[in-house]
Each structure stands twice: as structure tokens, then as C-alpha cells.
Amino acid sequence: MSSWLGYAKTSFHHAPKTITLTTSSGSEIPLSELCKDATPPCRLNPLLFNGHLQTFWTAYKGYDIPIVYRRKIFEAEDPAVAGTFAVDFVSRIPGEKDESLPPRTSYFTDQEFGEYGSSDSKPMLVTLHGLSGGSYEMYLRAVLAPLVTEDNGWEACVVNARGCAMAKISTPIMFNARATWDIKQVVEWLRKKFPNRPLFGLGFSLGANILTRYVAEEGSNCLFKAAVVCSNPWNLDISDQFLRNSFIGNQIYERVMGNNVKHLANLNAEQICKVPGIDMEGIERIKHLYDFDREIQIKVWGYPSTGAYYRDASSCDAVIAVKVPFFAINALDDPIAVQPGIPFDEIKTNPYTVLCTTTLGGHLSWFEVGGGRWFAKPVSQKGPCKSCIPLTTLGCQLSE
């Protein structure tokens, strides 16, 4: 289980017999073997020798990975979760600079979006970011950048959680850990606009939890050909307990995440304070992530306690219902998506799922020498099948 000089041990967990996929050459390969073939050795920066150092390093900006986006504001179709949310589509044509949006992001014009759609068969990736983040996150762009090159030919979009990525909410409904309705609406919209494109899902951290729940809810009707999740916290109740009971967890991680979501709450206070029991004094009391969930989330969604919210939103049991090829990547030293919350047994009962664990990597980190992130390789490097990328490989037609 140990790592030495950045050489992390990689392990795979799956059912005794996983589903079989057919490659473009006509040969057959089990999902478990395909995932192993697509995963290179995990060789990380030896100076970042534990999960805390790896995770802390995410605060270092390092080199830039430019991705250009065009934004569209969607109106929720389900009246039970009324409101707006922002979707950022990867673009190869920069728009006019807009200071109200994240860098390299501009709105579609009505005409541009009216003409948006195609009968092409390019693979399309739908991405979900982590807690309080957005399409601008470096960990997200590290995966998108190699996929959307002209050589690889992918298209991609990022479904920003409500209230995130400088998009204000239009109702009191912000994001939550099981908010699958926005991605469901976007995927169904994409299927109509791009009827021939194979669709894939990619989720990070809290977005990984949401994506897992969405894929499980859709079951065999899921419109994704495959999905990949990185640093899924899986069991939010267990993660919460570990963070609270650790000095570093409570005084650093919980406070940093709490400060981030408090900032979002302040930006959207006009709408949030329409919920009975929520006021500015409550928002000001937020110091930790669990304070935000206590002061905001359970009141918006009607949960009796934060524990009830965490247990209801967790994806550890939902993974049993996944019915498309599904690849998960977690670091065993992740201080946020902690090892005791990983559903090893549940994954081993489902032939559609494969979990890769590494002994080093932290949370959404896996930093290599030079600043690259290892997890981008098993997700986006060239593989043995289809358009030679593991995400597409996972979407091969199942054998009869």
C-alpha cells in the first residue's frame, strides 16, 4: 500500500466478470482489462509525498491550460426545481471579453445559439465540476485540452452547478450534492441537437457524486455511452465525519470549502434569503462546509439534519444501478474523498463498473514532476479502440 519517491501503487477493483466490449477491429475485451490497458503507471512528484501535500498543491496556479467557452443560460424545465443554470460549451472561436464571466468565456448570441446543432458524429463530453467550482477549473481543463484538439476531434461542455462560475441563481434553488436534474435536461437537449453524437459523462469530486447518481437513476436508459468519475467522495456522511474529527480536516479543508460556498451564498443572498429560516445572519455564521449545509442546504431542501442530507445524496449505493461502462478513479490518501467511504463491495457486484485506486494522489491532484496531472492520462490518453481515446473506448458497442 505504500508509495516511494512518487511511485504510487495502482489497483483495480471490479466484478469477477465485467461486461465485454467490442473494439473497432472486431476483437472483444472485458471492461476491466480495457481500463487497465488505458491506465499508465502512476508516477508522481516525490516532493508531494502524501495526500495533504498533493491536495495543498492545487492552490498553486502553475502553467495555464487555455480553453475557450461560449455560455448559454438554460431555464429548468422541471417546475419542481425551477431556476436557471449556465452551460459552457468549448469553442475554438473566442468571443468578446466579458468581465462578468470567467476568463475566456463569453455568451452565445441568440443567432449563434439558434444555429447550434449538427448531424455530425463527433464524440461529445458532458462534464461536471467539483464543489463551488466551474468550467474554469484547472483540473477540468487538464482533461478537456487533449480531447478537444483537432486531431482527437471531441466536442465538450461543462454544466455549471447553480450559483457557480459567476452565474447567479434566479430562484432560491442552488446546487446540492444530488442535483441530477440539470445534467439530465442538458443530456436530453444534446441528444436532440446532435442526434448522431455519442455522448459521454465526466465528473470531478462533488460533480462525480452527482454524475454517478444520474447514471444510476437512468439505468439502462442512460443516454451516455460511458462515464468516468474522479475523486468521487461516494459516502458524504463518512467524509463529513472524517473531516470534522481531524484537525487538518476541520481547520483547513472544512474552512476553505466553507469560505468558498459562503462566498457563493453571499453572491446569491437575495434569492437564498427568500427561503424561510435563512437570513444574512445565518450566512455570516458560516465558517465550515457543514455550517453551509446546516444554514442553507437542509433548509432549502427540507432535510431534518445535515446527516440526513449527506446520506440521501451519497452515491455509494447508487453505483449498483449503473448500466453503462463506468470507470472511477480514487486516491487512497485523499483527505476529502476518504478511503472508508469508497464502495468497494458495491462496485464488485456490478459488471459495468471498474474502480482504479492509487496509494498516492490526494484530492483531484495526482501531480507529476513538472505540474502535469496523472489522472488526465487514463481519462484522455490514446487507447486501443475506436477514436483511440479511453473515454470512447469505454463506449464501444457491447458484445451480443
Residues acting as catalytic residues: 205, 334, 363
Q: Name 305's bridge partners.
A: none
Q: Where are the alpha helices (DSSP H) in the chain?
A: 31-38, 51-56, 110-114, 138-147, 181-193, 206-218, 236-244, 247-248, 254-267, 269-272, 280-284, 289-292, 298-301, 306-313, 344-348, 376-380, 390-393
Within its chain, how far is the Cα of 145 from the centroid? 16
DSSP 8-class letter at 220: G
The type of residue at 387 is S
174: closest CA among 50, 261, 71? 261
Phi, psi at 125, each rounded to 5°:
-105, 130
Strand partners, 68: 91
Q: Cα dist. 43→3, 38, 336, 341 in Å? A: 10, 15, 21, 25
Cα diameter, the chain = 63
Q: 10 Å Cβ neighbour count for 150?
A: 6
By three-state DSSP, how is residue 82 classified?
coil
8-state DSSP, 399? P
What DSSP assignment string belongs to 235-298? -HHHHHHHHHTSHHIIIIIHHHHHHHHHHHHHHTHHHHTTSTT--HHHHHT--SHHHHIIIIIH
Q: Which residues contact 221 (CB under 8 A, 6 or more apart)?
A: none
- Residue 172: all three cell numbers together: 432560491
SS3 label, residue 49? coil
